[in-house]
Structure 1
Amino acid sequence: MSGPGSAPRGQQPPYWYGDTPVPLHARLLAGLYAGVTALRRRLYHAGLLRRRHPGVPVLVVGNITAGGAGKTPLTIELVERLRAAGWNPGVASRGYGRNNARKPIWVERGMDPVEGGDEPVLIVRRTGVRLRVDRNRAAAARALAAAGCDIVVCDDGLQHYRLARDVEIEVVDGRRRYGNGQLLPAGPLREPPERGAACDFRVVNGGGPGQPGAGFGEWPMRLLADQALPLGGGRPRPLVSFAGLRVHAVAGIGDPERFFSMLRGLGIAVVPHAFADHHRYSAEDFEFGSRLPVLMTEKDAVKCAEFVTELHYSVPVRADLPEAFWVALLDRLPRPAREPK
């Protein structure tokens, strides 16, 4: 059980986002990692490793840091915006943390997150989109195209170079950015910062990004929440109705503090319970010792259906970006196969 203010299980090293010195062994391993990943990128760039394209436009959403930055809410909003523009999107995902990870599957709305992965199940429940989970994202994209999707959104795929892509969106945590700026395991970076600069768009989740302009710019994204959905059944409750009340707040995401800060910003007295990203919950995780309302992220809530009570609420968020971003993004794509209704 995690107590009030406890750190996430499996939390990131303190030197990633702090002033703690990086241990020598981590610096040495980072040098090895840098060499291996640079060689891999060069092999794909030279054509010695083959990229594969599904024959329909591919839009990749990802980040160059380890951990969450807001990719899933952005993917959900992308699906809805593409539909409104006349596209029939499909989503390709790895499905991190699921059982039998080597087996490709179609994720259905009622699927257990243990089988489909928490983020894919959440995306399907919110949107009803066709979603293929496969460690080989290129194979997932081909399956989606064969199933009738005319554009593929690849969730968390910047480093999956086997899949050829038409548009890349880098998502950045505006509060933590690139941390100490070093590569794994000395820092949080999967790839050097110039890799992010090569993407078509950079979306910054909070933290006051720069203004978009000519060439490469930053586009601000906010995650908005206004309702709490009772997991035990019943009508939604305005999130502001918890203002002035003490609640247990549960987050097993890349940056739990983002969720806690959002609730505090609404005047809610938060007792925080942070878990590692993709944590698999048990009933014991919710034995907090007091019968307060429990607010949790939607990504966590999809994994807790078996042991929730009338005290448990899911807090869904919506990605909010400037309309100019959507205009610029859609302008990068060819015309959809069908016109919007």
Structure 2
Amino acid sequence: MLERLSARIEKSWYQNKWWNIWLLPLSAVFFLLSHARRLWLTVIVKAGKNNKIPVVVIGNINVGGTGKTPLTCRLVELLNEQSIKVGIISRGYGSNAPHYPYALAQGESAVIVGDEPKLLRDRLDCPVVIGPDRNAAIKLLSEKNVDLILSDDGLQHYKMARDYEIVVLDANRKLGNNWLLPAGPLREGGWRLKTVDTVIFNGACNDDGMKNCMEIIPSAWVNAKTSERKTLDFFAGQKLHAVVGIGNPQRFFTTLDSLSVEFTPHVFADHHAFTASDLAVADDYSQQVVMTEKDWVKCAAFANENMWYLEVNASLSAGLETKLIKDLTALTETDL
């Protein structure tokens, strides 16, 4: 019952419905507590930098997936092309590391380090450190000889000093009903967008008036067991089971529609700790199971050859790519 209520509340966030109005008193309490916390950490005991390495935060002001991880991957690639060595810090949601902060090794289990940090470490082969104390993570990462640090999320972690802030918004969902949690999806009010350095709209590059935009572009089907790669039309016209445990599952389903596949959805909570039984959905409808790369990293240990993940990449508009390279390169030059 509670799960159905939660799902209905979240659905109402993005449908401009007033069904959630009964939650506004709780949103008022959330506002008072979060505002007091922000005031304390940004004015009274303002965070100071504990190193000279520039820190760039990639976050959002609403809950749910907006495309931060693909953007992080693309920024690392762009900065590496400028001979800038990048390190990444993350809270490590769902991790069970032996200690924190914790520096990831290549190929570690998502059970130990969390799904997103594992994806970033394995795909990018750059230093990644996890831990709830971002400042401690920065201190450890600063020992890895990096030129710039990307913080995957952490926009509201005001104990962490930062040099540059990027917010990613879903171009379709935007800010939903513009209410704070729990009546709406916002961690902070829309005013916060005016204080960050760059706001990026994910999925708006077809809008001629949108300059700072990006698209999540699928690149290949990859076998979850063998790593065999297939072109995007490999499953066209076929029936599949789509298993997903991300913040915005509809984005994955929309991509599957664009690839002309028919599918039965199997939706789990964001950061769900998958087990083999969760993927035991093959039947007469289909023997093939597909998922996101983020979900695959948690399933690799028990995947079979009938399971595939969709590899995706962030494609930035030309103007945005130029702006970010210029801005972030300038940060490293300032700190020389």
Provide TM-score, normalisation by structure 1: 0.89
After TM superposition, give the deviation of residue 45 of structure 1 in Å: 3.1
Alignment match, 2:52: 55
Alignment match, 2:192: 195
1:178 has 2:178 as partner: no
The correspondence for 2:257, drawn from 264, 277, 282, is 264
The correspondence for 1:295, drawn from 261, 268, 290, is 290
How many Å separate the matches in 1 of 2:49 and 2:208?
A: 34
How many Å separate the matches in 2 of 1:287 and 1:332?
A: 47
How many Å separate the matches in 1 of 2:4 and 2:169?
A: 21
Matches within 5 A, 1:219-238: 219-233=212-226, 235-238=228-231
1:74-94 deviation per Cα after TM superposition (whole angstroms, max 9, x unaligned): 011111111111111100100
1:119-158 deviation per Cα after TM superposition (whole angstroms, max 9, x unaligned): 0000011101101101111221122122211100000011
After TM superposition, give the deviation of residue 116 of structure 1 in Å: 0.5
The correspondence for 1:243, drawn from 227, 236, 245, is 236
More helix by share: 2
- Which amino acid in 2 is paired with 1:239? L
Alignment match, 1:34: 31
In structure 1, the gaps of 5 or more residues are 1-6
Matches within 5 A, 1:68-83: 68-83=65-80
Secondary structure of 2:212's partner? Answer: strand
Do the aligned residues in 2 keep the contact of 1:54 with 1:138 (CA within 8 Å)? no
Do the aligned residues in 1 keep the contact of 2:241 with 2:263 (CA within 8 Å)? yes
Matches within 5 A, 1:146-165: 146-165=143-162
How many Å separate the matches in 2 of 1:72 and 1:307?
A: 24
After TM superposition, give the deviation of residue 36 of structure 1 in Å: 1.4
1:211-249 deviation per Cα after TM superposition (whole angstroms, max 9, x unaligned): 67xxxx751111111311111215311121211111111
Alignment match, 1:318: 313
How many Å separate the matches in 2 of 1:62 and 1:206?
A: 16
After TM superposition, give the deviation of residue 209 of structure 1 in Å: 7.8
Q: Which moved more, 1:41-50 or 1:265-274?
A: 41-50
- Which amino acid in 2 is paired with 1:230? N
Alignment match, 1:22: 20
Do the aligned residues in 2 keep the contact of 1:225 with 1:317 (CA within 8 Å)? yes
1:305 has 2:300 as partner: yes
Over the matched positions of the two proteins, sequence identity in percent amounts to: 36
Alignment match, 1:280: 273
Do the aligned residues in 2 keep the contact of 1:8 with 1:276 (CA within 8 Å)? no
Alignment match, 1:4: none
- Which amino acid in 2 is paired with 1:321? L
After TM superposition, give the deviation of residue 197 of structure 1 in Å: 2.4
Do the aligned residues in 2 keep the contact of 1:59 with 1:165 (CA within 8 Å)? yes
How many Å separate the matches in 1 of 2:120 and 2:282?
A: 33
Secondary structure of 1:317's partner? Answer: strand
How many Å separate the matches in 2 of 1:78 and 1:280?
A: 28
Alignment match, 1:99: 96
Alignment match, 1:205: 202
Do the aligned residues in 2 keep the contact of 1:101 with 1:135 (CA within 8 Å)? no
After TM superposition, give the deviation of residue 42 of structure 1 in Å: 2.0
In structure 2, the gaps of 5 or more residues are none
Alignment match, 1:65: 62
How many Å separate the matches in 1 of 2:112 and 2:312?
A: 24
CA RMSD of aligned residues (A): 2.2
Structure 1 residues 272 and 305: CA distance shift in structure 2, 3 A: same
Structure 1 residues 96 and 335: CA distance shift in structure 2, 3 A: closer
After TM superposition, give the deviation of residue 9 of structure 1 in Å: 11
Alignment match, 1:140: 137
Secondary structure of 2:132's partner? Answer: coil
How many Å separate the matches in 2 of 1:64 and 1:272?
A: 28
- Displaced runs of 4+ in structure 1, greater than 4 A? 7-12, 207-212
Aligned residue pair count = 326
